[in-house]
Chain A
Amino acid sequence: MAVSAEPTGHDGASAPGPLVPAPAVLRATSPARLSPTSPLVDIAQALPGVLVVVLLLRSELLPRLPLPALGVPALLGIGMTVVALARLLRWWRLRYWFDEEGDLRLDSGVVVREHRRLALSRVQSVDVGQPLLARVIGLADVRIEVAGAGDTRIRLAYLPMSAARDLRAGVLARAAGLPADVGEAPETVLHRVPTGVLITSAVLAAVPLLAGLLIAVGGLIALAVLGNGITLILLFTILGPAIAAGRRVLQWYDFTVAQSPDGLRLRSGLITRSSHTVPPGRVHACAVSEPLLWRARGWRRVTMTVAGQPGGDEQNTPDTLIPVADPELAAALIGRVLPGIDLAGLPWQQAPPRVRWRSPLAARTMACAVTDEGVAVRAGTFTVTTTIAAHARCQSVRITQGPWERSLGLASLAVDLTPGPVSLHTRVAAHLAGPLAETLAAHGRRARAAEGPARWRQPVAGGPLR
């Protein structure tokens, strides 16, 4: 499990020499529609639900209604036709294109017309997903997320797989400030998670939950009279963790990390395939967690915060950098998404032992580290979690001190990050909190001043922007 190769240049084949392209040609494209079969896919996906409702209605309600024999199929047919027509209209009205300024435009809406413009210089991630049905007939959806408040995500469903790839390449080329016809960037596969490792890790991760449930259920059974339903109860108890483990395997099956000049590509999924592209410098923070039962094997999981819409449907946000990795791989990947951060060589400063009176579970490993590039905190007894953020991405620094902390000579230090799965806070000796916060503020100032351009491949006139 090691990072195998360095990425090759984007234009390694076409233009030798430095990676600075000629002045970007942001070519506009003519409006395009989605695949004409996409209404059918939508309808087909809703079909099982409709059937269930219909069957329920049939057995419960319909016998009491005075309807002619052909009434049910006829009503159903009319309903389906109406829905299909509506879908078709929506498909007809939805058109997307790139404008001359290199932004993505989207026209949609049947009754209420909607025009949207996505500033591609602020793209956070581009995902290509393939739900089962779409995958069978070779379609894919494209999700584009830009930074900013409000509705910053669009989903284009569905496109033929090749068109989806082209769209992604076009978005990323424009976001990078490259000529729009540069095509898809080459990629180097860094790592593939072996299926055996994934399954073992998923099972091991589910064991504590299972044990906890079994103890709870065992207590219940011991309390209650030993009756007949025990096997059923036990079955249901095992079912929960088993489903959790199964979902992990399905979701992260064949998890592949690849490096391309457009950023990191993350692909995974057994039934629903998804592919995320995270452009360079878009990762704000990472969290490395080491569950108790993974420790013997040295495995860890890395999640990350990419700026974009908070919450949302979890499966579609690229919040997992790697579902299971050994220490070297985890460190190498974090070094890629948070440049300059060396996970193995962080200068940890252990929190004072008295921290255990305030946070008993987290105290054993509680520590923080500040380097020139970022800040890291660590905590946890059973699952040890290390959180790392780049200084340039920290939003604000907070110190709080409650009465109990005050009497122990402690203070809480938190770094505010954009919403996501990663949060960064720890407890330190009270007299260190102030200097630490000042250090972080100073580092943040310096890091922001040294920020690169938003279009990361565009030649920069006169040094870094702003």
Chain B
Amino acid sequence: MDAPHAHALPSEALPPHAGARPCDALPPGADWTGVSPRLALARRIRLCAAAGLTAAAIGAGLAWATAAGAPSRLWAILVLPVIAVLTGWPIIGRQVRAWGYLEREADLLVRSGVLIQRLVIVPYGRMQMVDVTAGPLERWLGLATVQLHTAAATTDATIPGLPPGQAAGLRDRLAAQGESRSAGM
């Protein structure tokens, strides 16, 4: 558990009339644990890479097309990947700030999303498996993803962007809780 990365979301993130945004308001005044800001970096790198590749592919296509006699103003299409990066950049920041989890006595709460907000409550007694994964980019940035599985395929409880120590700690606590509370199917 390296505490520096486990920062609570500021309480002013709660909207004025909390009832209208249930995913923010539950439970009132709780101390959510956020994910590492480095997750934003990881996602922005991925966004830029995707945009760059797209731009390169478009560029190659355009070079061939203009050589074949297409009008050169077609190169304006290349502005699209740039727009994607410019709009995606701040959205990623907001998304990463919105991600959080809360360990309660009997269940784990995970919330995420800005435009489409999600909140999932997973009882410890229902967890069948806890996955910790880290791709190459995540490993390089010192991040890991914790994912909870229940017997339902639709349970979507994923917490990305945790420092490996924090992720392992969470996994161990969840596993211990799940074992002591597990119930039959």
Contact = CB atoms under 8 A, between A and B. Distances in A.
Contact of A398 (B21, B118, B123, B153): B118
Interface in B1-44: 19-23, 25-27
A349 interface: no
Given A406-B21, A444-B123, A438 B27 contact: yes
Contacts of B185: 122, 124, 147-148, 307, 393, 418
B154 A416 contact: yes
A147 B185 CA distance: 7
B154 A414 contact: yes
Main secondary structure on A side of the interface with B: mixed
Contacts of A403: 115-116
Contacts of A466: 181-184
27 contacts: A147-B184, A307-B151, A392-B183, A393-B185, A396-B157, A397-B120, A398-B120, A398-B154, A399-B26, A399-B118, A400-B118, A401-B21, A402-B115, A403-B116, A406-B20, A416-B152, A416-B154, A418-B185, A431-B22, A434-B22, A434-B25, A434-B27, A438-B26, A438-B27, A441-B121, A445-B125, A466-B184
Interface string B108-127: 00000101111111110110
Contact of A396 (B23, B117, B150): B150
Interface string B164-176: 0000000000000
B121 to A, nearest CB: 4
Interface of A: 122, 124, 147-149, 307, 310, 392-403, 406, 409, 411, 414, 416-419, 423, 430-431, 433-434, 437-438, 440-441, 444-445, 448, 451, 454, 465-466
The size class of the interface chain B forms with chain A is 35 or more
Contacts of B103: none
Nearest to B118: A400
A441 B155 contact: no
A382 to B, nearest CB: 25
What 3 A-B pairs come out closest when comparing CB atoms? A431-B19, A416-B152, A395-B152
Contacts of B83: none
Contacts of B182: 466
A63 B182 CA distance: 67
B106 interface: yes
A437 B107 CA distance: 12
A398 B151 contact: no
A416 B115 CA distance: 22
Interface in B71-129: 106-107, 113, 115-123, 125-126, 128
Contacts of A438: 26-27, 121
Contacts of B157: 396
B184 A454 contact: yes
A434 B115 contact: no
Contacts of B183: 392, 448, 451, 466
Interface of B: 19-23, 25-27, 106-107, 113, 115-123, 125-126, 128, 150-157, 181-185
B26 A448 contact: no
A434 B26 contact: yes
Contacts of A431: 19-20, 22
Contacts of A396: 120-123, 126, 150, 152, 155, 157
A122 B151 CA distance: 14
A423 B121 contact: no
Contact of B116 (A394, A395, A401, A451): A401
Nearest to A445: B106
A397 B121 contact: yes
A434 B153 CA distance: 23
A409 B20 contact: yes
Nearest to B25: A434
Interface centre among A149, A423, A437 (most CB of B within 10 A): A437
B22 A399 contact: yes
A310 B119 CA distance: 25
B127 to A, nearest CB: 9
B87 to A, nearest CB: 16
Nearest to B17: A431
Contacts of B116: 400-403
A304 to B, nearest CB: 14
